[in-house]
Structure 1
């Protein structure tokens, strides 16, 4: 049998079969390795990076086709995307959690979820600090009333809020909608509420913690302009500036970034913050849409601490899943 296999491999026919499959396998590998070099024309680069893990499903599909076609060239070429995908995302699959933790935090884009049961579910999760995004004037009083017994301190500015077991001070708005020259690129037809981010200092028993809560602008697939990310990118630049300038030794960002951690829009944030999901989670931790999550756009990011565990909480009626993490001082 071994002799027959070697004889089959030495024949030219299996290496000549499936040239299209071979080319597709090589292109897939190059895309995974060089996604940062894809031009962001019409948002193409950003779009690719937001769905980058899902390109992995093409590998077994191409392998099946290559085996059916009996193409040794295509099977060999598939080693490139397989190694590239494993290098990029293989480290996310194992459980990286550690026991213990000084602080438990959670964040949730509540959207259109029913405020009272959602607040009760989140309060029962045991977070010491809880951030909410996409609050409305109608829902905010219900969240405040329901969460008050669990969290004696809170601050709401616009559509974002923070609830805490510990005192808050110096709460202020972070303008993530009109930052610098990028603001001119925002479409007048896509005006969003101005107060979508805040900064506050949480006085924990172990010392002060600078906390940012943010809900960046949405991204959209537009018929004429492609993947529209202007509002999101403005907010990412504003958050990067704020985090970079923050003098505190410990910084926490709880946010709906409307983009995954691989998106080039967050290059600046990646240089200054770590992702709790990447360092202490299991799997990809997808959060959106809640019914069948395909992307991790809700993030717990930190500096000056260590993440012990990161996980998603049960669905609440929002189109996002809540996320939580434990942090060690």
Structure 2
């Protein structure tokens, strides 16, 4: 049995893209928790060792090697900061956050160049403006998403990524031009629709539709350097986010599990980039939100390159 589980785990790790997404978006569900096949393999190895099951131990080496090759590099340390790096904090602050002032101060203490927030609602939105203003004099809020910057902002506009079946007011994406010391960067702040896990599987249809709409916007984006920060309600391995991850690079190092804050099992808060790379991402200390904030390093390409 242990050998069979090991072979199945190796197959899921290596061939997860071939797991069909219907019914119940099983492929996306597997990819959401793909990282945890590593700890599962370690547990199976311990069981095999305890039973002295040599065949099972040999078979279980296969998923261990596959996991180390596919996901292991994320655990390696990142290199030193480069000459053209921005730091970006991404945080869904939660619309029921009981301590917006404390949350804002904690985010400002990170010293990030950019802070992207979601679930901004009144009256807490005014608190974030007030608390972040001393260190982040430039900001833009569109609907329930906002961007605070240490560097001047140029043109800012709302983006329409609303799923077709939502009729009520729904504004959860913006684009802003950030005039950094290294040149202009197009910054996107987004909040994709939530997903639900139920008897029918992973309910991600709205999120996937919204991601596809955003993907088309990114395909038409003419700026050479783009940074996207948002609560994407999915991991970078989830095929439902392929319209974004096929156009923007994901973090190379770091797990930064961000949700739920009490016991994080997945990173659904993401920082992605084009015209640069994201060498590392890490989770910050808990705030009054049900998400953990994440801080990413973004190494920008030379503007003339």
Are positions 1:311 and 2:282 aligned together? yes
Q: Contact between 2:249 and 2:277, CA under 8 Å: does it hold in 1?
A: no
SS of alignment partner, residue 54 of structure 1: helix
* In structure 1, distance between residues paired with 2:26 and 2:152: 44
* In structure 1, distance between residues paired with 2:224 and 2:183: 10
CA drift of 1:73 comes to 2.3
* In structure 1, distance between residues paired with 2:51 and 2:77: 37
* Alignment match, 1:212: 188
Q: Output one character per residue of 1:257-294: Cα deviation in whole Å (capped at 9) or x when no partner.
A: 10001001122322221123x2xx33x11111112211
SS of alignment partner, residue 315 of structure 1: coil
Tell me which protein shows more helix as a share of its residues. 1
* Alignment match, 1:266: 241
Are positions 1:289 and 2:270 aligned together? no
* Alignment match, 1:148: 133
The normalised TM-score by structure 2 is 0.91
Are positions 1:64 and 2:46 aligned together? yes
CA drift of 1:192 comes to 7.3
CA drift of 1:316 comes to 0.9
Q: Specify which of 62, 74, 92 is matched with residue 109 of structure 1.
A: 92
Q: Output one character per residue of 1:131-179: Cα deviation in whole Å (capped at 9) or x when no partner.
A: 111111221111111111212221111110011122223222222223x
* Alignment match, 2:147: 162
Q: Specify which of 159, 162, 171 is matched with residue 195 of structure 1.
A: 171
* In structure 1, distance between residues paired with 2:201 and 2:178: 41
Are positions 1:24 and 2:5 aligned together? yes
* In structure 2, distance between residues paired with 1:327 and 1:84: 28
* In structure 1, distance between residues paired with 2:201 and 2:297: 38
Are positions 1:89 and 2:66 aligned together? no
Q: Contact between 1:97 and 1:310, CA under 8 Å: does it hold in 2?
A: no
In 2 relative to 1, CA 208–51 (structure 1 residues): closer, same or farther, beyond 3 Å? same
Are positions 1:234 and 2:209 aligned together? yes
Q: Contact between 1:259 and 1:297, CA under 8 Å: does it hold in 2?
A: yes
* In structure 2, distance between residues paired with 1:256 and 1:34: 27
Q: Contact between 1:109 and 1:134, CA under 8 Å: does it hold in 2?
A: yes
* Alignment match, 1:7: none
Q: Output one character per residue of 1:281-328: Cα deviation in whole Å (capped at 9) or x when no partner.
A: 33x111111122111111111111244543222111111111112333
The normalised TM-score by structure 1 is 0.84
Moved more, 245-254 or 290-299: 290-299
Moved more, 93-102 or 262-271: 93-102
* In structure 2, distance between residues paired with 1:60 and 1:301: 30
* Max Rg structure: 1
* Alignment match, 2:303: none
SS of alignment partner, residue 70 of structure 2: helix
